[in-house]
Amino acid sequence: MEPMEAMAAIKRFVMEHRLPKTEIALFGVKCPYCGKSDRIEQLETPEELNMDLLNADLKHYKMLWRSLAKEDALLGICKFCLNVLGLDLEKGLAEPLLD
């Protein structure tokens, strides 16, 4: 799946399934798209959602996650502009997934 297609698909998936299930804003992490620093939320990994999604939905989420997240990277979403982001929690950064 092409990166732009995967971005659109995971954004739809997140909205349809009301993710993240645990809504905790990462304060101080600034969205590179809209500049908000109080609306970034970390998305659960596929493993964390194992019991919360139907099997077919979980497989689809895993495929989307793998196509966007680099190695052990985390993904997040800005709840203001709804862009999916790469997260580096150690550095307190949110980065665009596509260059």
pLDDT in tens, 59-95: 999 999 999 998 778 999 999 999 999 999 999 999 9
pLDDT of residue 99: 67
Q: Could you give the number of structural domains in the chain?
A: 1
The model's pTM is 0.89
Considering the chain, what percentage of its residues have pLDDT values greater than 90?
77
pLDDT of residue 72: 79
The answer on pLDDT for 21 being more than 80 is yes
Which residues constitute the domain of residue 12?
3-96
Q: What count of residues does the chain have?
A: 99
- The torsion angle over the Cα atoms of residues 61, 66, 72 and 78, rounded to 10 degrees, is -60
